Amino acid sequence: MASLAEPAGAQLAPIYLISGDEPFQLGSAADAVRRCARAQGYGERKLLFAERNFDWQQLAAEQDSLSLFAERKIIDLRLPTGKPGDAGGRALRAWAERPAEDSLLLITAGKLDRKQLRSRWVTALEAAGVLVQIWPVKHHELPGWLRRHMQARGLEPDAEAVALLAERVEGNLLAADQAVEKLLLVHGPGPVDAAAVRASVADSARFDVFELVDTALAGETVRALRMVYGLLEEGVEPVVISWALGRAIRELLELAMAVARGQSPEAAMAGARVWDSRRAPVSAALRRHRAGYWGALLQRADRLERVVKGMAAGNKRDELVQLVSAMAGQRPLPLPAGETG
C-alpha cells in the first residue's frame, strides 16, 4: 500500500485503486488524485459505474481509444462492492498489463477484505500503480482529526470547541466537514470556541447498532447510553437493538465458559473467530465479568426481547438502558417478581 502525493508537480502513477468504507475520506483521496491530474494536463474525464450487469467492454474500449482532442484523460471507475467478477477482473488485469499512455485509471471501491486484497486483479493493479486503503477514524482519534481538519481550513479551535464538535458529529466525517464549512461561513477564519460550535452546528451524530455493542463491551457506559438514545431518535426499531445486544451477550457467555474451562481469552476468541477489530472490547468484557454474570445478563436480554415484541409488560427504552448499562459494567437490576428469563 502506498500513500497519495497531492502536490501538482508530483509524479502520477498510471493507476490508483482507492478502497474503504468511510465515504468522506474515500472521496477526499480521490479528489486529491483528480486535482493533481488536472494540474498536469488531464483535461478530460470519463466516469464509469461498475454496478451489476456493467459491460466491462467499456473499459477495454477506453483503453484502446484516443482521448478527445488528444488531451490526457482520467478514467474514473466506481466499483462500490469491490467485486468486479470474472469479466471485470480480466479487464482490470488487462489494463494493468498495458496501461493507456494518455489515460490515468482512478478506481474507487468499497472496502476490500483480505481475500480480495490477494486477488489477481488487485495485485496486478498494485504492481502497476498505487493501492490506497482508507481506514475509519477511531473514536479516540476523532478530536485530533477534527483539530487538524479545522486548522487546515483556517480555524483555530480551542480544546472545548473540538470536544463539543466531536460529540456532535460522532463518527460522521461528512457531517464534520459540513460543520467546519458552516463555521467558516458564519465566523470566518480565526479562533473558534465552544459557544460558536454550539450556536452553529446541529447534532449530526450517527450511530450503528454494532458500534453500540462494542462500546458497551468496552465499558464506555456514558457513550453507550448516548448511542442508545441516538439510535432510538433516528428511528431504529428497539427490536433491532435488542437482537444485536442479545447476540453479543450469547457470544460473551460462550467465550466466558471457554475461559472457565481453562482456555486463554485469546485462544477462546480465536476459536470463536472474533474479528481482530473487535478483540479489544470483547477482551475488556471478559476481564470484567465471568460466565455467571453473562448468564444472568442473558436472562435480561431474553426479557428485553419479549418486551420489545409486546410479549411482556415493560418500558422498552428503560429496559434497553438497563441492559446496555449492565453490559458496560454496572450490575443489572433483579428481574421482576415471577420472571425467570
Q: What is the pLDDT of residue 335?
A: 47
> What is the pLDDT averaged over residues 224-248?
91
pLDDT in tens, 121-177: 999 999 999 999 999 898 889 999 999 999 999 999 999 999 999 988 877 888 899
Position 278 confidence tier, pLDDT thresholds 50, 70, 90: confident
pLDDT in tens, 39-52: 999 988 888 988 87
Would you state the cell numbers that stand for residue 70, as one nine-digit string? 488528444
Would you state the cell numbers that stand for residue 284, as one nine-digit string? 475488556
Give me the CATH topology for the region 209-327: Zinc Finger, Delta Prime; domain 3 (1.20.272)
Spatial neighbors of 116 by CB under 8 A, at least 6 apart, are 82, 83, 122
> What is the pLDDT averaged over residues 57-63?
87
Q: What is the pLDDT of residue 89?
A: 95
pLDDT in tens, 102-123: 899 999 998 898 999 999 999 9
Q: What is the pLDDT of residue 228?
A: 93
Q: What is the pLDDT of residue 102?
A: 87
Question: What is 254-304 written as a DSSP string?
Answer: HHHHHHHTT--HHHHHHHTT--GGGHHHHHHHHHH--HHHHHHHHHHHHHH
Position 8 confidence tier, pLDDT thresholds 50, 70, 90: very low
Going from the C-alpha of 245 to that of each of 22, 60, 241, 272, 325, the distances in angstroms are 24, 48, 6, 17, 11
Residue-averaged pLDDT of the chain: 87
pLDDT in tens, 299-318: 999 999 999 988 888 899 99
Q: What is the pLDDT of residue 75?
A: 94
**Nearest 5 degrees, angle CA 204-CA 210-CA 214?**
100
Q: What is the pLDDT of residue 63?
A: 78
Q: What is the pLDDT of residue 30?
A: 93
**Nearest 5 degrees, angle CA 222-CA 284-CA 264?**
165
Q: Which sequence spans correspond to the domains of the chain?
A: 15-134, 139-200, 209-327
pLDDT in tens, 186-202: 889 999 999 999 887 76
Q: What is the pLDDT of residue 291?
A: 92
Q: Give the CATH class of 139-200.
A: mainly alpha
* CB-based contact 166:143 (threshold 8 Å): yes
> What is the pLDDT averaged over residues 260-289?
89
Q: What is the pLDDT of residue 187?
A: 87
Question: Which CATH number does 15-134 carry?
Answer: 3.40.50.300
Residue 66 pLDDT greater than 60, yes or no: no
Would you state the cell numbers that stand for residue 149, as one nine-digit string? 481538519
Q: What is the pLDDT of residue 189?
A: 94
> What is the pLDDT averaged over residues 17-34?
91
Residue 3 pLDDT greater than 80, yes or no: no
Residue 1 pLDDT greater than 50, yes or no: no
> What is the pLDDT averaged over residues 312-337?
80
> What is the pLDDT averaged over residues 315-323?
93
Residue 67 pLDDT greater than 70, yes or no: no
Going from the C-alpha of 300 to that of each of 32, 135, 305, 310, 317, the distances in angstroms are 50, 35, 9, 15, 14
**What is the spatial distance between Cα 207 and Cα 182, in angstroms, rounded to a whole number?**
22
49: left (phi over 0), alpha (psi -120 to 50) or beta: beta
Lowest mean pLDDT among 3-12, 83-92, 199-208: 3-12
Residue 71 or 183, more confident = 183
